[in-house]
Amino acid sequence: MIQDESIFTNRLIQDFNQCFGHTPEFMVSAPGRVNLIGEHTDYNDGFVFPVAIDKYLHIAASQRSDREVHLYALDVEEECVFNLDSIRESNTPPWSNYLKGVAHFLQEQVLQGSEHTLNGITAVITGNVPIGAGLSSSAALEVASTLAFLGGCGLEIPHSSVNTNNGIQVLECSPLEVASICQRAENEFAGVNCGIMDPTISLLGKADHALFLDCRSLDYEHIPLNLTDILIVICNTNVKRELAASEYNKRRSECENGVKIIQQWLPSITSLRDISVEDFKKYEDKLPEITQKRCSYVVEENTRVLKAVSALKTNDVETFGTLMNASHEGLRDDYEVSCDELDLLTEIAKNTEGVFGARMTGAGFGGCTVNLVYQDRVDEFQNKVNNEYPKHTGIEPQIYICNAGDGARIKWISDN
């Protein structure tokens, strides 16, 4: 699951023991993600195509005999204690709201009326998913927390365990129901209006595969990436995404407004997902200019995702890369959620031999680009980014070389 897993596991066990004076009963790991193509389509009932990256949020935990939750976040050296009988939102510390929300909705949505009750847990949290980079560290925390709370009452969800433990009961709860809990926690406790994609890929990630997800039906398919000599290289602008939240809400409203207008001619549609490129061309001049640009991007992006999936199924990575490049152009010119720094990184990528696809990923106005790079050209690409990006921006970038990793797992620790 992670490089030198046994070394990492032993270190985290030691950290837990140092904090709480005993050995944890289990460890949970949940990955971050990057979306290869299909941006801002999720809230338009469209298609997305993310991968789980091999960077993980980890929780080592043990069951308590009471209903208290004792947490310690190693990377920020902060602790939090709350009671499962009186869960309240709090900004002290802010990250605790993700766990509180998960615990609240687990009790309300999954366990209510069942024979199971949440126990308190004692837990240590750490990880290497970059925070604030748009790689879904929050979803990784929510997913890991869900499995940790379930583990605290001796439960797993199907396919979540990396080892067999006969004393553990499998809770018949689908990954999509778990993803829904995580989404609600982020929406209603952390105050972030995220979609279903991030927790879904963190749960359902599969090594060397991307997840083709229909955000309306929630049907999904694991698609082999076949990237034998190609790496996923993520470049972080290190620009804070200060406009992302407010502009996200504006884009969402503009898309909804476009649907209302076009419904005069296509009354059966309920979202931009329902409009083909051909039909949109017939009615685009009925829309205000800004609305037209926003809707045009989404309609075309949904088509690009479908073409991208088809390309990978036939091992046509060159076409896939061309579609990634077109996706960025649409995000920059029509959806207008890019920024100078993101555009610079994609321009550097476009002018580097061996990079066949590059685009911004995430909400925009900062964050990261995702690039598909031939393995023997990765060093050259890194050097160009590290030299040219600071020269034009005065900002040092961060570069993460990733593979498509597995989804969230729980590992039970033997006392032997």
For 189-254, what is the HEC assignment? HCCCCCCCHHHHHHHHCCCCEEEEEECCCCCEEEEECCCCCEEEEEEECCCCCCCHHHHHHHHHHH
First-to-last alpha carbon distance for the chain, in angstroms, is: 22
Q: Which residue has the tokens 């898309």?
A: 255
Rounded average pLDDT over 322-326: 98
pLDDT at 165: 60
- What confidence tier does 163 reach under pLDDT thresholds 50, 70, 90? low
Residues 127 and 74: beta-carbon distance below 8 Å: no
Neighbours of 90 (CB within 10 A): 13
**pLDDT tens figures, 76-124:** 999 999 999 999 888 889 899 999 999 999 999 888 777 888 999 999 9
Rounded average pLDDT over 232-248: 84
| pTM score | 0.91
- Please tell me which residue, 274 or 248, carries the higher pLDDT value: 274
Question: What is the rounded (10 degree) CA torsion for 368, 373, 376, 377?
Answer: -70
- What confidence tier does 166 reach under pLDDT thresholds 50, 70, 90? low
List residues with catalytic annotation: 198
**Reduced to 3 states, what is the DSSP secondary structure of residue 47?**
strand
Kindly state the percentage of the chain with pLDDT values over 70. 96
**Would the pLDDT of 6 be above 70?**
no
pLDDT at 243: 65
> 171 phi and psi, to 5 degrees?
-85, 125
**Would the pLDDT of 4 be above 80?**
no
Rounded average pLDDT over 54-59: 94
pLDDT at 179: 93
- What confidence tier does 131 reach under pLDDT thresholds 50, 70, 90? confident
Cα–Cα dist 388/392, whole Å: 7
Rounded average pLDDT over 256-264: 97
C-alpha distances in Å from residue 226, one per residue of 79, 200, 202, 308, 371: 42, 22, 20, 13, 15
Half-sphere CA count of 305, side-chain side, radius 13 A? 26
> 63 phi and psi, to 5 degrees?
-70, 145
C-alpha distances in Å from residue 123, one per residue of 60, 128, 141, 353, 405: 6, 17, 12, 46, 24
Q: Which domains does the chain have, with CATH numbers?
A: 5-224+405-412 (3.30.230.10), 230-402 (3.30.70.890)
* Chain-centroid distance, C-alpha 235: 16
